[in-house]
A = this chain, B = another copy of it.
Amino acid sequence: MAGVQSSEASHPFIPTDLILPDYVPIILSQSTILGVYGCASLLVVSFVWILAGRFPKISKLEKVLMCWWVFTGLTHMILEGYFVFTPEFFKQTSPTYLAEVWKEYSKGDSRYVGRDSAVVAIEGITAVLEGPACILAAYAIGARKSYSHILQIAIALGQLYGTAVYFITSVLEGDNFAASPFYYYAYYIVANSFWVWIPSLIVIRSWKKICAAVGVQEQKKTKRR
């Protein structure tokens, strides 16, 4: 508010000269924040697993993939969507759970609370375009749609591209946004790594399936000639 002098509140983020007027400290503990996310995810995955079983002739791997797509889709839409559309989340005087999540994650990468434009751009694309597409991918696997593999590749490549820009911009800006080595490795490196190796495996699998299908198609055309 105009006129209030104590706008430069202290905060736990690095770099320490990051200016966050009206910052409200985290209330929830780390274990509560992670516990709620873990339990909610477990509930979602269990629900999708049961639902997926009702699709005919579905393999175990396809059920796992459906669980992943719904989990990552909801994470994109709810968690990342909240971040994108709530620029002042760190100022809330009675913070919601989602605000607490992003204040906690910012200990691993203060560009979130500092609203770095590259981070906001990537999260915007992820939340608005990729989130809903993930849910569609889960449905496409179950319903055996012909666009299932190409949709999965499109989203997974988007996740990989986003993560690449996320890490490269950080390195270019000095890679000094974590409150401690623990947060650097736990939040910034380990948590994000899931969105590197899982999309990579999905791209490889679906790429092979598409090449096989197109290859058969091409062979038939050649024979006909």
Contacts and interface: CB of A to CB of B under 8 A. Distances in A.
Query: Looking at chain A's contact residues, is the secondary structure mostly helix, strand, loop, or mixed?
Result: helix
Contacts of A161: 125, 157-158, 161-162
Contact of A150 (B125, B153, B164, B225): B153
As for how many copies of this chain the complex holds, the number is: 2
A53 interface: no
Contacts of A225: 57
Interface in A109-139: 117-118, 120-122, 124-125
A150 B118 contact: no
A144, A146, A215, A218 interface centre (most CB from chain B within 10 Å): A146
A118 B118 CA distance: 6
A85 interface: no
Task: Report, as a range, how many residues of chain A touch the other chain.
Answer: 35 or more
A122 B168 CA distance: 9
Interface string A149-181: 110011001100110110011001100000000
Nearest to A57: B225
Given A150-B207, A153-B154, A157-B157, A121 B213 contact: no
A147 interface: yes
